[in-house]
Structure 1
Amino acid sequence: MATFHPKDWHRRSSRLRRMRREMQARDANAAATVEWLLSTGLCLGLTALLPASAMLSALAALLTLAGFAWLGVAIMQAEPPVGSPHLTAWDAALFSLAASFGVQSTAHLAALSP
């Protein structure tokens, strides 16, 4: 039979606090990822309406604009750009700008291929 330890509540409460912080970080990561995917999906949806010849350059431009919009959100939220335990708007801006550079390089490679 288990015995009651009067100081055991301290271990349980610290474990609960740690689990709560991990759950909050996971929820924040999921929210930031979903918001970034929605903005990227909007960019893809808008470029799907364009002719194929202008699609890659328009997608790169829209992703760049989305990256700058995410930078604006990050600056307005006043979160630190590094050292956060979860994804922030800074990370979403980085993802958008990296995706834009990837699309730009794909467009250049497609233009160079015969």
Structure 2
Amino acid sequence: MTTFDLKDRYRWSSRLRRGRTGLPAEEAGRASWSILTGWIASAALCLALAALSPAPAMPWVLAGLLSLSGFVWLGAAITRAGPPANATHLTAWDAALLAFAASFGVQSAARLGLLSA
């Protein structure tokens, strides 16, 4: 059975560094903008669909749609994206986190009464 030697930290860091696959800077920038514009488009679609609902229910519908968008981004991250850690550019994991954070923000604002007309 293999044991983990705490004093052998230098070999572990070189192994981890060797296993990373980094994107070139130009490609990482394009990937980041692609993810960011995709998330903005999905948030705008959620806002447009929520605008069709009655005014008192609009914040809750928007929060639900943003949460659903977060689950869609999470599914895309699980199936297509790489691991969430050590990425130098935005990934689908980040878009899912942004969608969930936006949903939480809308819910908090609605509970505080900031979105009532």
Q: Which runs of 4+ in 1 moved over 4 A?
A: none
Aligned identity (percent) is: 53
CA distance in 1, matches of 2:69, 2:27: 26
Asked which structure has the greater CA Rg, the reply is 1
Whether 2:117 is the aligned partner of 1:98: answer no
The gaps in structure 2 that reach 5 residues or longer are: 1-22
CA distance in 1, matches of 2:32, 2:75: 19
TM-score (norm 1): 0.77
Quote the residue 1:4 is aligned against.
none
Secondary structure class of the residue paired with 2:89: coil
Counterpart of 2:30, as a letter, is D
Counterpart of 1:22, as a letter, is A
Quote the residue 2:80 is aligned against.
77
Quote the residue 1:9 is aligned against.
none
Aligned counterpart for 1:42 among listed residues 45, 62, 68:
45
Counterpart of 1:30, as a letter, is W
CA-to-partner distance for each residue in 1:53-75, whole Å, 9 max, x for gaps? 01000000000000011110000
How far off its partner does 1:21 sit? 1.5
The gaps in structure 1 that reach 5 residues or longer are: 1-19
CA distance in 1, matches of 2:55, 2:81: 39
Aligned residues: 93
Q: Which has the higher helix share?
A: 1
